[in-house]
């Protein structure tokens, strides 16, 4: 095994991550799932985090590495590229390999060779619940895993930034005990439960696409068949869509044979990115809860007779996080304020707001606190 980690946060988070994978993989096996990735142990987790952390600070030809490591043997990957001689898991080796694997969805494979972890090659395909560590920027690492159905944004487990460790709150314990709010926000972070692709959470995919385009933007999600949302939008809407753009809704309703799965996934990604791109236009993009696009570039206004928002409660899906009430000047700018006003006026709607700096907030109405609730979720989208 590699030398003991000198990055202390690696030692602190490794047992927590080990327990996360053990719990989820046991549940998956209980449900009859097979073909799962090998279960990572705390010592291997700490060693992988340690080597990647130090590599993240070492530029190669003027560029800091952006790498993704997956813990699995070559035989558990599909069509891997295997090195003739496995390489030691060190910061130096990772730095040298980084330019070859910085594109999305390419992982360096790491596995045990005797008593030592080594880099055995690369792979694009990994099994469900495979431990993945992604280097986002110097000193910022994200522990994640491939979702059970294998499609879309990986599920984040923990975020490490320097000595700060954020463990993702899977069960919503960081949220106030408010059933209506829990239903709205846990639907964002948890897998959907209906439709032929029940484990696909499309709001996460849309949010990740919005955040990735880097322009900032707002996505409003309103009830299907309702027209009341128009009272909170300045008229006329310059980019109103008639009939509604239903390509994503139609794809999600489509029954897909396994042999057509990759083609379906590619089609969903393209449409998600199309909708995500609309949010870069000044104003808000409006979709209904069937994921049909109704308008974009829409200007939010305060509904007649409704007071302005003067505060909201803010949380983050991190274990140990406590809700805090803030005033609008303390969180975000005009985009956040207009989104908060929209859900204050339209209490059965959600507003998703991407900032240019990478922050991402989901606004929903909390009937228990009787105020707008802002849930910071960028830790789920890295």
Q: pLDDT tens digits, the chain, 382 residues: what are they?
A: 445 679 999 999 999 999 999 999 998 889 888 889 999 999 999 999 999 999 999 988 888 999 999 999 999 998 999 999 999 999 999 999 999 898 888 999 999 998 899 999 999 999 989 999 999 999 999 999 988 766 667 889 999 999 999 999 987 888 888 887 777 777 665 543 344 444 457 888 899 999 999 899 999 999 999 999 999 999 999 999 999 999 999 998 886 666 677 788 889 999 999 999 999 999 999 999 999 999 999 999 999 999 999 999 999 999 999 999 999 888 778 999 999 999 999 999 999 999 999 999 999 999 989 999 999 999 988 8
How many whole angstroms separate alpha carbon 61 and alpha carbon 22? 39
Last-in-domain residue among 125, 144, 167:
167
Tell me the C-alpha to C-alpha distance, in Å, between residue 67 and each of 71, 72, 91, 115.
Answer: 13, 16, 11, 24
How many whole angstroms separate alpha carbon 225 and alpha carbon 53? 49
How many whole angstroms separate alpha carbon 223 and alpha carbon 230? 12
SS3 assignment, position 135: strand
How many CB atoms are closer than 10 A to CB 341? 23
Residue with tokens 């990994």: 126
Q: Is residue 315 part of a domain?
A: yes
Last-in-domain residue among 167, 199, 224:
167
Q: In sequence order, which residues have a C-beta less than 8 Å from that of residue 223 and are 6 or more positions away?
A: 288, 289, 348, 349
Does residue 235 share a domain with residue 163?
Answer: no
Q: Is residue 40 part of a domain?
A: yes
Does residue 303 share a domain with residue 216?
Answer: yes
How many whole angstroms separate alpha carbon 171 and alpha carbon 164? 21
Q: What is the CATH number of the domain that holds 318?
A: 3.40.1700.10
Does residue 324 share a domain with residue 209?
Answer: yes
Last-in-domain residue among 115, 140, 167:
167
Q: Report which DSSP code applies to 325.
A: E
C-beta of residue 50 within 8 angstroms of C-beta of residue 7:
yes
pLDDT of residue 90: 96
Does residue 245 share a domain with residue 158?
Answer: no
Does residue 214 share a domain with residue 120?
Answer: no
Q: Is residue 215 part of a domain?
A: yes
Does residue 250 share a domain with residue 104?
Answer: no
How many whole angstroms separate alpha carbon 275 and alpha carbon 281? 11
Does residue 270 share a domain with residue 205?
Answer: yes
How many whole angstroms separate alpha carbon 95 and alpha carbon 99? 8
Q: In sequence order, which residues have a C-beta less than 8 Å from that of residue 225 and are 6 or more positions away?
A: 288
What radius of gyration, in Å, describes the C-alpha atoms of the chain? 22
Q: Is residue 59 part of a domain?
A: yes
- Cα 12 to the center of its chain, rounded Å: 23
C-beta of residue 158 within 8 angstroms of C-beta of residue 143:
yes
Q: Is residue 1 part of a domain?
A: no
> Cis ω on the peptide bond leading into residue 236 (within 30° of 0)?
yes
Does residue 189 share a domain with residue 71?
Answer: no
Q: Is residue 3 part of a domain?
A: no
Instruction: Record the tokens describing residue 354, joined without a space.
Output: 């991407």
Does residue 261 share a domain with residue 137?
Answer: no
SS3 assignment, position 225: coil
Q: Is residue 268 part of a domain?
A: yes
Does residue 156 share a domain with residue 214?
Answer: no
Tell me the C-alpha to C-alpha distance, in Å, between residue 133 and each of 110, 115, 329.
Answer: 11, 21, 36
208, 209, 212, 218: CA torsion to nearest 10: -90
Does residue 249 share a domain with residue 131?
Answer: no
Instruction: Record the tokens describing residue 320, joined without a space.
Output: 């140990």
Q: In sequence order, which residues have a C-beta less than 8 Å from that of residue 54 and are 6 or more positions away?
A: 6, 7, 91
Q: Is residue 172 part of a domain?
A: no
SS3 assignment, position 340: helix
Nearest to 17 by CA among 25, 29, 27: 25
- Structurally, the chain folds into a number of domains equal to 2
SS3 assignment, position 43: helix
Nearest to 234 by CA among 281, 280, 294, 303: 303
- Strands of the sheet containing 81-88, edge to edge, are 81-88, 116-123, 107-113, 68-71, 131-137, 140-145, 155-161, 164-167
Nearest to 326 by CA among 316, 313, 336: 313
Range of the structural domain that residue 264 is part of:
179-381
Instruction: Record the tokens describing residue 117, joined without a space.
Output: 């972890």
């Amino acid at each position: 095994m590699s030398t003991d980690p000198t990055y202390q946060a690696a030692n602190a988070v490794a047992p927590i991550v080990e327990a996360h994978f053990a719990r989820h993989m046991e549940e998956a096996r209980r449900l009859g799932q097979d073909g799962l990735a090998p279960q990572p142990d705390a010592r291997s987790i700490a060693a992988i985090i340690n080597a990647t952390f130090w590599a993240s600070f070492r530029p190669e030809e003027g560029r800091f590495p952006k790498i993704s490591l997956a813990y699995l043997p070559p035989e558990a990957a599909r069509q891997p590229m295997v090195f003739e001689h496995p390489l030691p898991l060190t910061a130096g080796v990772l730095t040298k390999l980084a330019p070859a694997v910085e594109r999305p969805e390419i992982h360096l494979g790491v596995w045990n060779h005797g008593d030592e972890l080594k880099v055995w090659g690369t792979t694009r395909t990994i099994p469900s619940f495979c431990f993945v560590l992604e280097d986002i920027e110097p000193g910022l690492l994200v522990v994640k895993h491939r979702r059970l159905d294998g499609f879309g944004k990986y599920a984040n487990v923990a975020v490490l930034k320097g000595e700060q460790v954020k463990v993702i709150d899977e069960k919503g314990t960081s949220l106030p005990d408010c059933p209506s709010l829990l239903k709205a926000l846990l639907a964002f972070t948890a897998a959907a439960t209906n439709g032929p692709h029940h484990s696909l959470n499309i709001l996460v995919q849309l949010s990740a696409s919005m955040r990735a385009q880097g322009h900032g933007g707002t996505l409003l999600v309103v009830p299907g068949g309702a027209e009341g949302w128009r009272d909170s939008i300045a008229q006329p809407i310059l980019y109103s869509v008639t009939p509604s753009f239903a390509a994503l809704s139609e794809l999600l309703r489509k029954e897909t044979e396994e042999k057509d799965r990759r083609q379906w996934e590619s089609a969903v990604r393209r449409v998600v990115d199309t909708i995500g791109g609309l949010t870069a236009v000044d104003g808000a993009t409006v979709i209904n809860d069937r994921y049909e696009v109704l308008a974009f570039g829409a200007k939010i206004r305060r509904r007649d007779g409704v007071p302005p928002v003067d505060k909201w409660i803010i949380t983050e899906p991190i274990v140990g996080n406590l809700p805090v009430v803030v005033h609008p000047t303390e969180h975000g700018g005009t985009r956040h304020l207009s989104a908060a006003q929209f859900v204050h006026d339209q209490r059965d709607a959600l507003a998703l707001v991407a900032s240019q700096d990478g922050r991402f907030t989901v606004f929903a109405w909390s009937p228990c606190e009787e105020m707008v609730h802002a849930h910071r979720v960028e830790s789920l989208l890295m």
